[in-house]
Amino acid sequence: MTSYVTVARAATGLVEDRGSRFWCHVARVSDEDAARELVAGLRREHHDARHHCSAFVLGPRGEVERSSDDGEPAGTAGAPMLDVLRGAGLSDVAAVVSRWFGGTLLGAGGLVRAYGDAVRAALADAGTLRRSLLTELAVDLDHADAGRVEGELRARGETVLDVAYGDRVRVVLGAAAGDVDRLREVVAAATGGAVVPSPVGERWVDGPGQSTSPST
């Protein structure tokens, strides 16, 4: 697994049905604690809502999934919300739907539609971005050469992740899977063969956002 898709930004969506209001907030989260903090914060903010149902998917492979009906009939809220996140192919994302009851019972089918539609409405505004796993390659340079080499690498479109100054200047570059050898050749060309980049780890990085809404 070298890439996955998440939401580009936090967003909200609103669905109304027979007086009931279903207000969804979707956001990017890094772990279960962050997802639960999002739920708790919205519960405090919208304390007058009857239910705060939630669903989240975490990890590059979507390996962690959780959902909660928060007092709604079993399977009518959290599960359909989770189905929408799965169908959109998203991870590292949480959705919380706060419901204000309008006085008319919607039935199981009505609840499933409303909760799912609220998540879809929020995702349509959130957009998506792809995260990619890059190999980190360190290039150690003399101060006299660092500015020129870094500028040349950036001009070639290479991904500069970090620059650290000490006795020497360490530039950390990112290379996608299968692109490490090419990057080594670029560094060799920029330094006259004097520097060989060394792998120092891996890092997930964000790609550009997309304006289209996720598929469901």
What's the whole-number average pLDDT of the chain? 94
Considering only the top CATH level, what class is 3-126?
Answer: alpha beta
- Condensed to tens digits (0 to 9), the pLDDT of residues 85-124 reads 999 999 999 999 999 999 989 999 999 999 999 999 999 9
- pLDDT value, residue 211: 36
pLDDT above 90 coverage of the chain, percent: 93
Residue-by-residue DSSP string for 95-159 = EEEEEE--SS--HHHHHHHHHHHHHHHHHHHH-EEEEEEEEEEEEEE-HHHHHHHHHHHHHTT-E
- 10-residue stretch averages of pLDDT, the chain, 216 residues long: 95 96 98 97 96 98 97 97 98 98 94 98 97 96 96 95 96 93 95 94 79 38
Q: Which residues pair with residue 215 across a beta bridge?
A: none
CATH architecture of 131-210: 2-Layer Sandwich (3.30)
Q: For the chain, what are the domain ranges?
A: 3-126, 131-210
